Each structure stands twice: as C-alpha cells, then as structure tokens.
Amino acid sequence: MPFLKTAPPPAPSDLTQSSGDESDLPYEYELDDLFHLYSTVRRTSCVSVLEFGSGWSTVVFALALHENAEYFGDEHRRLVRHPNPFQILTIDASDHWQEVALARLPDWLRSTVRPVSCSVNLVDRYGSYVHLYENVPEFVADLIYLDGPDPEQVHGAINGFEYSELHTLPMGADILRIEPHVWPETMIITDGRTANARFLAAHLRRNWQVIHDPFGDRTTFRLEETPFGPVIEKHLSTRLAAARELRDKEGPNI
C-alpha cells in the first residue's frame, strides 16, 4: 500500500499520550479500513471526497487524491470544468480533533484538504430525531464518507430526547439535504453506523444501489444514474478511462 511507503502513520507522543483522561486519546487506525478507503479512491479514480468526521481517513484520502491528480489530473483539468478537483472537504464537530487529524498531514498534502469545523444539532426532520452539521459548504464529491459526529458531540434536546450518552445511535441526515445536488456515480461509505445507513437508504430518493458488508462493518451506496449534461459526462468518462488504465497497470494491487 503506497500509504505505508510514502507517509507512514506517525505516532508522536503528543498524539498518543494523555494526562490520564481516555477522552484525550485519538482513535487508533485500523489498517484494513484505511486500505479499503485508499483503494476505493484509487481504483474508481475519484476526484473529490466529502468526509464527515476528520481522522486517519483524512490522511489516506488526501494521499489517494494526490496520487490520482499525479496520474490523470492534467487531463481531467483540461477536459472538465470541475468546481473542486482533487480536493477533500473534511467536516468535524471538534476543532481539537480536526487539528489532530490535520497535523498528521505532510506539507505536500495540506493543499489537498479543505477543513471545516462546526457544531452539530439535534433536529426533528424526516419524521425522526436526527442531527445536522451547521455548515456544509457547496462541494461536488465523487465519494462521501460518513464517520462523524460522535454522539456526545450532538447538541440540543427535543421532547426529552437528547444525545446524553455514547450508546445513543448516530443518525446523520446531512446527506439527505445535499442528495439533489450530487452527481451520478457518487458513492457513499459509512464506517459502521448501520442504523444510520438504513435510515439513509429508507429516505434517499434517487436510484442508489446499497450493499452492506457485515464483515467490514460498512455500507456502500452508489448512485446508478446516467450522466446529465456534458460536464458530468466528460467527468465520468475521464474517470472511467483513468480507472481502467490503472487496473490494467496495477492489477490486484490496487
């Protein structure tokens, strides 16, 4: 995996030690999950990623997008008027943990990442109690990764219901708000959060293919629609050509 060869995950003392409070410790990375995310971006030739919840995945996405840009970025930029090519928008409810994630980035990857930190609020929408980030900027993403927020980061209470402890199920609805704007062939991956994934599957309105992987503890959505308009058509055809060429070159290694 190029991630390990190019930028091995650092473990500086300020990220792995705390004053005794376990809430100050960052989550340890899971190599199989990181490889799955990296290889998905590479083998599908993603150009942009929207991430809910910064973490080790931020580094992996940044690296994969950087390598995609090196591989076919010049051709893509020449042919496609894409609003945010080879960028990751990472949104987090914690300034602190987002800064921890960004500190892992080498200097040559920092320009790939656009960070946003904002609060998450409990709301009554779609006939359910769900939570929404306050600030989700306009962003065209080939891949949306749902891995945040943590339950204790959700603010507010409605009719006595609130996120008061860790076992309250996360129920992010941000993707439902932006669904009308996503391009065909967009993918969504949830890190666990199976109840949230089922909620999304029940409320998404477009033609999504949904696959649940109980062994990897993830759910993957893919928007099965033909491209509409020349910009999206050229974007998808350029991605497809790059992905086919990469698979022929790398084979099972990617």
Tens digits of per-residue pLDDT, 186-217?
999 999 999 999 999 999 999 999 999 999 99
Residue 94 lies in a domain: yes
Residue 135 lies in a domain: yes
Mean pLDDT, the chain, rounded, equals: 89
The predicted structure's pLDDT at residue 14: 34
The predicted structure's pLDDT at residue 11: 37
First to last CA, the chain: 8
The predicted structure's pLDDT at residue 160: 92
Cα 156 from Cα 164, distance rounded (Å): 10
Total tally of structural domains belonging to the chain: 1
The predicted structure's pLDDT at residue 247: 84
Do β-strands 87-92 and 128-133 pair in parallel, antiparallel, or remain unpaired?
A: unpaired
Q: Three-state DSSP class for 79?
A: helix
Cα 9 from Cα 12, distance rounded (Å): 10
The predicted structure's pLDDT at residue 164: 81
Exposed, middle or buried by CB within 10 Å (0-12, 13-18, 19+), for 113?
buried
Nearest to 75 by CA among 235, 251, 248, 217: 235
Cα 192 from Cα 250, distance rounded (Å): 29
β-bridge mates for residue 146, sequence order: 52, 190
Residue 18 lies in a domain: no
Residue 24 lies in a domain: no
Residue 1 lies in a domain: no
The predicted structure's pLDDT at residue 24: 52
Q: Which residues of the chain have pLDDT under 50?
A: 1-23
The predicted structure's pLDDT at residue 253: 62
The predicted structure's pLDDT at residue 12: 33
Q: What residues make up the domain containing 234?
A: 48-217+226-253
Residue 231 lies in a domain: yes
The predicted structure's pLDDT at residue 249: 80
Residue 15 lies in a domain: no
Does pTM top 0.95 for this prediction?
Answer: no
Residue 96 lies in a domain: yes
